């Protein structure tokens, strides 16, 4: 199987005339991929954001051949519900988001919530999240960061159990 790179795919760049935020003024997306896009206040930054998202996707998924349609897949949510109490608190404290206003699946990761290209780099976001989780829950997640959220939530649950025992 060929190791595809972003440059192998057809990319569309467009200006969002009705963008409410500067960082979303331009969009870069891979033609035929629903959900594979990047934003920026310039075409270059939108392309850079797309590259980061593509790289994150590539690290966890098989890539289709360039030009092929890539439907928006929906992953299972059968396990994430077991961590709802932790997830609600985590999203509020760590990500500043309302858990119930996000689509979170068993395959969701912290990279899915990385605001890359919005005044913070992916590395800085990761460092900030890892430290915030440690401060809030006393749990070190550096090694779990790139995995699924359910693994992070399991570490938090185990730490809570240890505190109760």
The domain locations on the chain are 6-60, 80-164
**pLDDT reported for residue 84:** 95
**pLDDT reported for residue 125:** 87
**pLDDT reported for residue 69:** 81
CA torsion angle 106 112 113 115 (round to 10): 180
d(CA 142, CA 131): 9
**pLDDT reported for residue 13:** 94
Instruction: Extract the residue ranges of the chain whose pLDDT is less than 50.
Output: none
Coil, strand or helix: which one is 129?
helix
**pLDDT reported for residue 137:** 97
Closest to 157 measured CA to CA, from 137, 143, 134: 137
In terms of pTM, does the model score above 0.85? no
Long-range Cβ contacts of 151-156 (<8 Å, 24+ apart): 152/90, 152/110, 153/83, 153/86, 153/87, 153/90, 154/83, 156/86, 156/90
**pLDDT reported for residue 81:** 92
């Amino acid at each position: 199987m060929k190791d595809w790179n972003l440059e192998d795919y057809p990319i569309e760049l467009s200006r969002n005339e009705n963008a409410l935020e500067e960082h979303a003024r331009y969009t870069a997306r891979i033609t035929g991929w629903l959900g594979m896009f990047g934003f920026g206040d310039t075409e270059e930054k939108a392309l850079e954001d797309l590259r980061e998202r593509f790289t994150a996707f590539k690290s966890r998924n098989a890539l289709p051949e360039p030009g092929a349609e890539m439907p928006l897949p929906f992953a299972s949510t059968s396990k994430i519900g077991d961590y709802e109490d932790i997830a609600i608190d985590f999203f509020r404290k760590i990500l500043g988001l309302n858990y119930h206003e996000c689509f979170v699946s068993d395959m969701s990761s912290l990279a899915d919530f990385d605001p890359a290209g919005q005044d913070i780099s992916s590395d800085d976001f990761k460092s900030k999240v890892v430290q915030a989780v440690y401060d809030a829950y006393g749990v070190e997640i550096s090694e779990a960061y790139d995995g699924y959220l359910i693994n992070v939530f399991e570490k938090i649950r185990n730490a809570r159990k240890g505190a109760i025992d």
